[in-house]
Amino acid sequence: MAVPPDLQQRAENLRAQIAHHNRRYYELDAPEISDADYDTLVRELQAIEAEHPEIAEESPTQQVGGAAAVAFAPVEHRVPMTSLDNAMDESELGAWSERVAKGLAGAAARFVCELKIDGLAISLRYESGRLVQAATRGDGRVGEDVTANVATIAAIPKTLHGANLPEVIEVRGEVYMSLASFRALNERVAAGTEIEGDGKPRKELFVNPRNAAAGSLRQKTPSVTAQRELSFWSYQLGEVLGGPSFTRHSETLEFIGAIGFPVNPEIAVVTDLEAAAAYCRRWQEHRHDLGYDIDGAVVKVDDLAQRELLGFTAKAPRWAIAYKFPPEERNTVLRDIQVSIGRTGRATPFAVLEPVFVGGSTVSMATLHNEDQVRLKDVRPGDTVVVRKAGDVIPEVVGPVLSLRPESSQPWQFPVTCSCPLQSALVRMEGESDTRCVESSCPYQRDQRIIYFASRGAMDIEGLGERTVFQLSDAGLVSDPADIYSLTTEQLLTLEGFAQISADKLVASIAATKVRPLPRLLTALGIKHLGPSAAEALSKAFGNLDAIMGASEADLATTEGVGGVIAASICRWFAEPVNRAMVEKLRSAGVEFGRVEVSRLPQLLAGKAVVVTGTLQGFTRDEAEAAIKDRGGKSPGSVSAKTFAVVVGDDPGASKLTKAQDLGVPILGLDGFLHLLETGDLPQP
């Protein structure tokens, strides 16, 4: 059947685009599109070629990676470094499993499940136990010699140790940059202290850890690679001469771990596809518990003889599949940059975007943090930008795709006046990164203060959301948080969307918050730097709001967890007449100023920090942490050497569990937690 001309043309266009993006990604470390957008192009071309296989010859869908860069000597791989086919959902994972079963004539297979590290594939060759060559994947046949740079990576052994070492062993894995190292690197770039190989400071922020790792590994000056703090996970053997024989992939992982290579601790061996799918689902949900980026999971047949039976396609093994997670980075057009004003007057720039589906939802706005970040990222209206949304994190613009920038583009300038009706000045104080509206009567600040006062972490007024606050403000019914306590059903009925039932319900909801505990009230006031933990500490130390208002800065600062900065901010806030007047309105409305909930339980955990991770039967997370605090303990969100114990439920955070194991912190299940609450001591082994 002849290929329709329009389909032939589309295939040629797709090949040209994919070839272009392969070069940008593999050779230049400067991709123009996100992985998700690239996958969309490839899958469209694959669909055309599946329908018309006669046009698939010499297609980029049949090739691996990109050509080796000319800056490094070429290395021919003795065993080709193939890429993996992708499964985008569980149905495609199931289809792959069916192909495996068919290839094995129905024989059962067990699988090894691994995290898909978002880094750069590398081949490490050892002769007589010594590292002699390191090479990138390149196009799968020929890579780049990066031995000098790889030798600077502390996680990669230079000499192997152990019995029965092969004469030649090639270990493959992924070079990556941890999130902590990535943040530190961009902080150095922002400070102007990150020096490139040419001896000049780098001016542009790195877009993501993967690109930073790839660019760092390809530096012409190994000392630059050394300062980038790259890491490595090993996951496969290539060429092996001599040494022990293996029958399973899982055995090879145990061996390479024993002779000195880092092997990812989250690897699991499972007996069926459902368990493999569960592994993929679990890590899709918990991908942000790790200290490094992953973009999927890899499922491999464990039995090496079965792998031989299954063989390879032109570019990938039939015995492995990459399960790709939904994209957290996409490209879109930045339509405009605007500025929002918060409750403290902070002016925050944000991007107005061409809507794009990323991180599980459609995003049309994203944060740009502050003036310095806009300048450093140099994003401009009209740019094609990379947008990132990781889980529940607020979407952010990572950076522009400079190669796609319009010629007429001009740098964006931070405004000098607030966009509110008062047109008050926007001022940036010396030594601060934030720009602020200096007019405290700014209506934008007023509205945000009321929204914050009613929010879940503060007074938690059910039914008083952002939209309702704007309605009340526009109608002149509220001018500060205290005004909400004087609202009547009749007033609410004048607003659009309110009926008798909803108006009565909101008035009752507001009235019910008059007896909120003092820490919530103190938090709700919105004092700069004062969060829930410090509010709780002050409430316990002083007992009521009047005592806190009357305390000196020195007295406040002596409270554990408060300190000088918070104390000074509290004193400045209460010194403002408008704030004092609002507090008195709250008093007149009947809001309690001294409700401090004191636990009557024995303080068995006084001075002890107990971290909770995962879901415990019979407890919500808040209830488990409250049980610890009621007994005098602390329940921080992270594990440290000072942590007394870590309580682990179902689906715990992997990073917390790993750190607890590394530090030797005791790990408790539900029974151990109950024993701890009852006695204050760890259960005896």
DSSP states of 462-502 as a string?
A: TT--HHHHHHHHHTTS-SSGGGGGG--HHHHTTSTT--HHH
How far apart are the C-alpha atoms of 187 and 190, rounded to whole Å? 5
Residue 505 appears among annotated catalytic residues: no
> How far is 612 from 577, CA to CA, in rounded Å?
42
In angstroms, the CA 19 to CA 11 distance is 12
Q: 334, 332, 367, 325: which is closest to 352 by C-alpha?
A: 334
What's the per-residue H, E or C state across 301-323? ECEHHHHHHHCECCCCECCEEEE
**């209830």: which residue's tokens?**
623
User: Nearest-CA neighbor of 352 among 367, 339, 340, 337?
Assistant: 337
Buried b (16+ CB within 10 A) or exposed e, 415-424: eeebbbeeeb
Task: Name the strand (E) or helix (H) holding 522.
Answer: helix 518-524
DSSP 99-137: HHHHHTTT----EEEEEEESSEEEEEEEETTEEEEEEE-
**Ordered DSSP codes for 49-92:** HHH-GGG-TT-GGGS-S-PPPTTS-EEE-SS------EE-SHHH
Q: Which residues pair with 230 in a beta bridge?
A: 177
Question: The dihedral of CA 634, 635, 640, 643: what is its sign?
Answer: positive
Q: Tokens in use for 438?
A: 């200096």
Q: What is the DSSP letter of 376?
A: H
Instruction: Name beta bridge partners: 350.
Output: 338, 367
Cα Rg, the chain, nearest whole Å: 30
The b/e string for 26-56 (b: 16+ C-beta within 10 A; e otherwise) is bbebebbbbbbbbeebbeebbebbeeeeebb
Q: Which structure tokens are listed for 360? A: 């599980």
- Can you give 10-49 as a three-state secondary structure string? HHHHHHHHHHHHHHHHHHCCCCCCCHHHHHHHHHHHHHHH
- Catalytic-labelled residue, pool 116, 300, 608, 656: 116
Q: In this structure, are residues 682 and 666 in contact, taking their beta carbons and an 8 Å threshold?
A: yes
Under 8 Å between Cβ of 574 and 549: yes
401 vs 31: CA distance, rounded Å: 8
Q: How many CB atoms lie within 10 A of CB 581?
A: 11
Residue with tokens 């934008």: 444
**CA 351 to the chain's CA centroid:** 19
SS3 at position 645: strand
CA distance 395 to 110: 39
Separation between Cα atoms, residue 661 and residue 641, nearest integer Å = 11
Chain centroid offset of residue 232 CA: 20
Which strand ranges, in their side-by-side order, compose the sheet holding 320-324?
Answer: 86-87, 320-324, 294-301, 111-117, 268-270
Q: Is residue 90 within 8 Å of residue 279, measured between CB atoms?
A: no
Catalytic residue numbers read: 116
